[in-house]
Structure 1
Amino acid sequence: MAGATVATNRREARRPRRIPARAPCLAVLLGGCSGMQSMLDPAGIAATRIADLFWVMLIGAAVIWCLVISLAVYASRLKKTPVSERTALRLIIGAGVVFPTVVLTALLVYGLRLMPELRTSDGDLTIAVTGEQFWWRVEYRLPDGRVVPSANELRMPAGATVEVVLGTADVIHSFWIPALAGKTDMIPGRTTRQMLKPERPGIYRGACAEFCGSSHSLMAMTAVVMEPEAFAAWIEREAADAVPSGNARGREVFMASGCSACHTVRGTEAAGRIGPDLTHLGGRESLGAGILPNQPDAIARFVAETDRIKPGARMPAFPMLPEDDLAALAAWLGGLE
Structure 2
Amino acid sequence: MPAFLVYPTDILLPMFSRPLSRSLLCVMLSTLALPTLADTVWLKNGDRLTGKISVLDGGKLLIETEYGGSIPVKWSQVATLESNQQLLVKEDDVTGEVAKSLQAAGDGMVTLSNGGAPRTVPLKSITQIIHPKPIIQDLTWKGNVDMALDYKRAETDTDDYDISFKTSARHGLWRHNGSGGYNREYRDGVTATDNWDAEYALDRFLDEHWFWQGRLEYKRDKIEDVRRQRTIGTGPGYQFWDNELGAFSLASLANRSDYEFASGNTEEFYSLAMKWNYNRYLVGKTFEIFSNGEIGKPLENVADYQLDAEMGLRYKVTDWASLNMKAEKDIVSGAESDLDETRYSIGFGVGW
- TM class by shorter-chain length? under 0.3
More helix per residue: 1
> TM-score scaled by structure 1?
0.24
More strand per residue: 2
> TM-score scaled by structure 2?
0.23
**Higher RCO (C-alpha under 8 Å, 6+ residues apart):** 1
